[in-house]
Protein backbone atom coordinates (compact mmCIF):
# COMPACT_ATOMS: atom_id res chain seq x y z
CA UNK A 1 0.00 0.00 0.00
CA UNK A 2 1.35 3.45 -0.85
CA UNK A 3 -0.58 4.94 2.06
CA UNK A 4 -1.25 3.85 5.58
CA UNK A 5 -4.06 6.31 6.08
CA UNK A 6 -7.02 4.09 7.03
CA UNK A 7 -9.46 6.73 5.80
CA UNK A 8 -8.07 6.60 2.27
CA UNK A 9 -8.10 2.83 2.40
CA UNK A 10 -11.75 2.87 3.45
CA UNK A 11 -12.57 5.27 0.63
CA UNK A 12 -10.96 3.05 -1.98
CA UNK A 13 -12.83 0.03 -0.65
CA UNK A 14 -16.06 2.03 -0.87
CA UNK A 15 -15.17 3.03 -4.43
CA UNK A 16 -14.56 -0.61 -5.27
CA UNK A 17 -18.02 -1.55 -4.01
CA UNK A 18 -19.63 1.20 -6.05
CA UNK A 19 -17.74 0.00 -9.12
CA UNK A 20 -18.82 -3.60 -8.54
CA UNK A 21 -22.40 -2.53 -7.98
CA UNK A 22 -22.65 -0.68 -11.24
CA UNK A 23 -20.87 -3.42 -13.19
CA UNK A 24 -23.33 -5.92 -11.81
CA UNK A 25 -26.19 -3.65 -12.71
CA UNK A 26 -24.85 -3.38 -16.24
CA UNK A 27 -24.61 -7.14 -16.56
CA UNK A 28 -28.16 -7.51 -15.30
CA UNK A 29 -29.38 -4.92 -17.73
CA UNK A 30 -27.54 -6.63 -20.56
CA UNK A 31 -28.94 -10.00 -19.49
CA UNK A 32 -32.51 -8.77 -19.56
CA UNK A 33 -31.94 -7.11 -22.93
CA UNK A 34 -30.59 -10.41 -24.25
CA UNK A 35 -33.56 -12.20 -22.77
CA UNK A 36 -35.94 -9.82 -24.48
CA UNK A 37 -34.09 -10.36 -27.78
CA UNK A 38 -34.28 -14.13 -27.31
CA UNK A 39 -37.94 -13.99 -26.43
CA UNK A 40 -38.89 -11.99 -29.48
CA UNK A 41 -38.17 -14.70 -32.08
CA UNK A 42 -39.62 -17.33 -29.73
CA UNK A 43 -42.96 -15.52 -29.84
CA UNK A 44 -42.93 -15.43 -33.63
CA UNK A 45 -40.74 -18.32 -34.80
CA UNK A 46 -39.66 -18.30 -38.43
CA UNK A 47 -41.75 -21.03 -40.05
CA UNK A 48 -39.73 -21.02 -43.26
CA UNK A 49 -36.43 -21.41 -41.38
CA UNK A 50 -37.86 -24.32 -39.37
CA UNK A 51 -39.19 -25.95 -42.56
CA UNK A 52 -35.80 -25.58 -44.27
CA UNK A 53 -34.07 -27.13 -41.26
CA UNK A 54 -36.37 -30.04 -40.42
CA UNK A 55 -38.79 -30.78 -43.23
CA UNK A 56 -37.03 -30.44 -46.60
CA UNK A 57 -35.34 -33.81 -46.07
CA UNK A 58 -38.60 -35.57 -46.97
CA UNK A 59 -40.86 -32.82 -48.28
CA UNK A 60 -38.35 -30.74 -50.29
CA UNK A 61 -38.06 -26.94 -50.24
CA UNK A 62 -41.22 -26.64 -52.37
CA UNK A 63 -43.12 -29.28 -50.36
CA UNK A 64 -43.40 -31.65 -53.34
CA UNK A 65 -40.36 -33.90 -52.95
CA UNK A 66 -42.28 -36.85 -51.46
CA UNK A 67 -39.34 -38.82 -50.06
CA UNK A 68 -40.03 -41.63 -47.56
CA UNK A 69 -43.69 -41.56 -48.56
CA UNK A 70 -44.03 -37.89 -47.57
CA UNK A 71 -47.18 -36.28 -48.90
CA UNK A 72 -47.10 -33.40 -51.35
CA UNK A 73 -47.63 -30.42 -49.10
CA UNK A 74 -48.82 -28.23 -51.96
CA UNK A 75 -51.73 -30.63 -52.51
CA UNK A 76 -52.81 -31.21 -48.92
CA UNK A 77 -56.27 -30.13 -47.90
CA UNK A 78 -55.65 -30.46 -44.16
CA UNK A 79 -56.65 -27.70 -41.78
CA UNK A 80 -54.08 -25.91 -39.64
CA UNK A 81 -55.12 -28.01 -36.63
CA UNK A 82 -54.67 -31.27 -38.55
CA UNK A 83 -51.25 -30.16 -39.81
CA UNK A 84 -50.20 -29.23 -36.28
CA UNK A 85 -51.27 -32.69 -35.07
CA UNK A 86 -49.31 -34.54 -37.75
CA UNK A 87 -46.24 -32.37 -37.21
CA UNK A 88 -46.42 -32.84 -33.44
CA UNK A 89 -47.18 -36.57 -33.35
CA UNK A 90 -45.85 -37.77 -36.71
CA UNK A 91 -47.41 -40.25 -39.12
CA UNK A 92 -45.91 -43.37 -40.70
CA UNK A 93 -42.31 -42.42 -41.54
CA UNK A 94 -42.77 -38.82 -40.49
CA UNK A 95 -40.91 -37.93 -37.30
CA UNK A 96 -42.97 -36.58 -34.41
CA UNK A 97 -41.68 -33.08 -33.73
CA UNK A 98 -43.26 -32.43 -30.34
CA UNK A 99 -39.99 -33.11 -28.56
CA UNK A 100 -37.86 -31.28 -31.12
CA UNK A 101 -39.88 -28.11 -31.66
CA UNK A 102 -41.87 -25.93 -29.26
CA UNK A 103 -45.66 -25.64 -29.76
CA UNK A 104 -45.06 -22.12 -31.14
CA UNK A 105 -42.52 -23.44 -33.65
CA UNK A 106 -44.86 -26.26 -34.70
CA UNK A 107 -47.64 -23.75 -35.28
CA UNK A 108 -45.30 -21.45 -37.25
CA UNK A 109 -44.09 -24.27 -39.52
CA UNK A 110 -47.68 -25.53 -39.97
CA UNK A 111 -48.66 -22.02 -41.07
CA UNK A 112 -45.69 -21.98 -43.43
CA UNK A 113 -46.93 -25.22 -45.05
CA UNK A 114 -50.19 -23.39 -45.79
CA UNK A 115 -48.24 -20.83 -47.83
CA UNK A 116 -46.83 -23.71 -49.91
CA UNK A 117 -50.41 -24.51 -50.89
CA UNK A 118 -51.55 -20.99 -51.66
CA UNK A 119 -48.56 -20.41 -53.97
CA UNK A 120 -49.82 -23.08 -56.36
Q: Which residues bind ligand HEC (CB under 6 A)?
A: 51, 54-55, 57-59, 68-71, 73, 76, 78, 83, 86-87, 91-95, 97, 109, 113
CB 66, min distance to ligand HEC, A: 8
CA distance 71 to 74: 9
Residue number with CB closer to ligand HEC (17 or 89): 89
| Of the candidates 1, 105, 115, the residue with the CA atom closest to the CA atom of residue 46 | 105
Residue number with CB closer to ligand HEC (21 or 90): 90
Q: Which residues contact 106 (CB under 8 A, 6 or more apart)?
A: 84, 87, 88, 97, 98
**Is the four-CA dihedral 24, 25, 30, 33 of positive or negative sign?**
positive
Residue number with CB closer to ligand HEC (76 or 115): 76
CB 72, min distance to ligand HEC, A: 8
Amino acid sequence: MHTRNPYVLLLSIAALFVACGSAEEQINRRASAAQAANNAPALTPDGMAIFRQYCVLCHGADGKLGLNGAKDLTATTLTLEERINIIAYGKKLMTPFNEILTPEEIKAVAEYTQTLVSKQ
